[in-house]
Structure 1
Amino acid sequence: MTHQTATESSERGSDTTRQTFAAVGSIAGGVVLLTVGILQFLEGISAVAKDKILVVGPQYTYQFDVTAWGWIHIVLGVLIAVTGISLMAGLAWARITALILVALSIIANFLWLPYNPWWAVLVIALDVFVIWAISTWDPDRF
């Protein structure tokens, strides 16, 4: 018979709560990844079509042609969406791939700031949440 102190019980309960929240966050992260992937894909199509919603400033250090940015977003969007579906399916490779793709998404959206700042900041914030959820979730402890 094991004797459990109140502190150990409290720590275990807190850890279980944290893991439950992280597991739900990881599934939500998969949904967010899928959503962000689809939206980045659509944004890429908008850029390739030279849509009027994009603003191109005269001087920018990391300036590419809008069409090039469009293709970057299309490819990244498809990869992120597929990884989001895989993450929701519980595939082991999807966690590491998601972390890598989300890091690339943060970089791409930071460089995309002058073209569509509100969207870029929103995606960066969602990507940070996904990184937290995926990296703190331990499926063996849930």
Structure 2
Amino acid sequence: MASTSSGPSVAPAAPSSTHHPFRIGGTAFAAVLMIFGGVMAILEGIAAIAKNDVFLATRDYLFRFNLTGWGWIHLALGILIVVAGCALFTGAAWARVVGIVLAGLSALANFLWLPHYPLWSLVLIAIDVFIIWALCANPYQGQEKEGV
């Protein structure tokens, strides 16, 4: 004999990716790092614009750039990164994509900034890598969804 159930069969719901604590924590981590890294880039830009003698300019480096021009680039990029970091707290999907793109541009700009301030550049590159990792990480990778 087969038994029948009288109520509707409900499969357990898959956890929502927007409310999962690891997803929220990773996004918040990226947002805080973006705001911190953006403020550091703003300070770097202001220092390069205000006083060109603060930074070391090596002669035998493969690429050379004007410090004042790079100061404006870092200042603008830093402002954009801070704004995108604040937008990440709202949970906007576009902010994740913009954050990844801006963190990549910041890492590239800081790589080119290595001859002028190596330690600061390496710290900001590391922060940008962590931002990209935190925004791209998927806590459900490799797990089955939809009640399986």
RMSD: 2.6
Question: With structure 1 as the length reference, what TM-score do the two structures score?
Answer: 0.79
Residue 49 of structure 2 contacts residue 71 of structure 2 at CA under 8 Å; is this kept in 1?
Answer: yes
Equivalent runs, 1:57-68 vs 2, <5 Å: 57-68=58-69
Identify, as 1 or 2, the structure richer in helix: 1
Structure 2 residues without counterparts, runs of 5 or longer: 1-8
% identical equivalent positions: 40
Question: With structure 2 as the length reference, what TM-score do the two structures score?
Answer: 0.76
Residue 22 of structure 2 contacts residue 139 of structure 2 at CA under 8 Å; is this kept in 1?
Answer: no
Moved more, 34-43 or 77-86: 34-43
Moved more, 27-36 or 52-61: 52-61
| 1:59 CA drift (Å) | 2.8
Moved more, 59-68 or 77-86: 59-68
| 1:28 CA drift (Å) | 1.3
Q: Paired residues, what number?
A: 128
| 1:25 CA drift (Å) | 2.2
Query: Could you tell me which residue of structure 1 aligns to residue 22 of structure 2?
Result: 21
| Runs of 4+ deviating beyond 4 Å | none
Residue 23 of structure 1 contacts residue 137 of structure 1 at CA under 8 Å; is this kept in 2?
Answer: no
In the alignment, the residues of structure 2 paired with residue 117 and residue 74 of structure 1 have an alpha-carbon distance, to the nearest angstrom, of 18
Structure 1 residues without counterparts, runs of 5 or longer: 3-11
